[in-house]
A and B are shown apart, each in its own frame.
Chain A
Amino acid sequence: MNDLLLTGLLILIKLGMVLAVLLSMAAYLVLAERKILGRMQRRYGPNRVGFGGMLQPLADLIKLLTKEDFIPAQADKWLFMLAPGLAAVTALLAFAVVPFAPPLEIFGRQLPMVVCDLNVGILYFFGLSSLAVYGVALGGWASNSKYALLGALRAMGQMLSYELAMGLSIVPVILMARSFSLTEIVQAQASAPFALCNPVAFGIFFISALAESKRTPFDLPEAENELVAGYHTEYSGMRFGLFFVGEYLNLVVLGAIITSLFLGGWHGPFLPPIIWFLGKVLAVAFVFIWIRGTLPRLRYDQLMAFGWKILVPLALVNLLVTGGVLLWLGGAS
């Protein structure tokens, strides 16, 4: 009984820490993005609140919480209120299967450093990322505004198209690791990260991840200069904040997934695993921000043509080649 209690307590502490780190990382990524974009454009970015702007996320939070929570008169009230939560929760839940460190030995028991080691972990992430589109789609539809609806439609078309390329680019990884579980995929990369073994899959997954998280150059669902703010045009206050948090949580989670799938997860020399993991996640997030600071937005037909005519065939060919090579290697040994 005492044993069970201790295990439960340890798991609770782990969950709390993961949640706290994840949320604060999302909050500070907002600040980091604003700062880095600012420096790329030769300005300072937010530097007023706290030391060099370090308390800016807190100020943003207070502002969003105290703002009026406006619901348009013709909106579908329940869906309008539900959609932002859906957007944030799907992003938060997706982190559950990401292993962030090797199992830890505490009080004579093994504590796996992953919230839930599903044996279909990667499919779980994939399912949640395909559900993330509902938050956007329903939010846009329920607003009863033309801009929001157009943003929602674009988001649906885009996420559906790039999900295919994303899924096909994951398959070579599964073939190489011989498992759906992210823990085993990370363990399979002990010698070399999959980004080196299969750079094409890495590239396809990275581009699809950009499109999935609706970031530049694929930020058409929220294209400011044509759709105001896209699907969250009508949102204000903390509901808008939830969309915002969801977006940056998605950034962290995609960074973590890219790290686990292609960059070797927590494997790395000299430094402790958790530092390697966090460093890789932050590096991926920095590249995402860097891309946002550099590339302009695509046109919608270019986006669709790129997804269906280049990425999907490339992913299929890559899958075929990887399978063939693995079969040949397996036959030789």
Chain B
Amino acid sequence: MASLLFYLLAATALLATLLCITRRSPVHAVIFLINAFFALALMFYLLGAPLIAAWEVIVYAGAIMVLFLFVIMTLDLSPDSQRPALSRGQWAPVLLLFLLLLVSAGLILTFDPASQASVPLFYASPRSFGAALFDRYGLAVEIVSFQLLFAAVGAYYLGRRRKARQAEESS
């Protein structure tokens, strides 16, 4: 039952992602992406991580995608204002990336690391998840959050300076 549900969800996620990158209308693409996030969240729930599932929905589907939608709606991107299909020269890197992906997928499938390291099924309840995150990996969490803060401040700084320079040039 659970495995059937898992494959159903995996198929949904794959299909939704495929539809997302092939739609002409950006709003439709965002909707399919949200769909994919949903399938992913349900998969996390099936794998025994309800907290991750909830965050997937709240953060990705509920906040980031709303921002995407907001920007798309304010820009009013109609399907015809998008760029035409790839030119012939652009196909080479696409093929290269695809081959790379294929090879790495094949490597993973042949070595099958999941079968070697027998990880016990970990029920990621909020309590145990929080304990693991802030006890065992506390330092890592702090470093990552500081890096995110640096990135945010840096982005703000760069944007600010360019604006000031523009103001100088214009005056």
Contact = CB atoms under 8 A, between A and B. Distances in A.
A176 to B, nearest CB: 15
**Interface of chain A, main secondary structure:** helix
Contact of B66 (A79, A120, A149, A160): A160
A137 B58 CA distance: 16
A141 B34 contact: no
Contacts of A138: 27, 31
A127 B62 contact: yes
Interface stretch (B48-56, B139-147, B158-166): B48-56
Given A130-B63, A130-B66, A153 B54 contact: no
A290 interface: no
B11 interface: no
B132 interface: no
B55 to A, nearest CB: 7
Interface residues of A, number: 25
Interface in A274-314: none
**Interface of chain B, main secondary structure:** helix
Nearest to A129: B62
Given A119-B50, A124-B54, A126-B58, A160 B67 contact: yes
Contacts of B69: 134, 137, 141, 156
A131 B74 CA distance: 20
A152 B27 CA distance: 13
Contacts of A163: 62-63
B18 to A, nearest CB: 18
A123 interface: yes
Nearest to A128: B57
Interface of B: 25, 27, 31, 34, 50-51, 53-55, 57-58, 61-63, 66-67, 69-70, 73-74, 125-126
Interface of A: 76, 79, 118-120, 123-124, 126-127, 130-131, 133-134, 137-138, 141, 149, 152-153, 156-157, 159-160, 163, 180
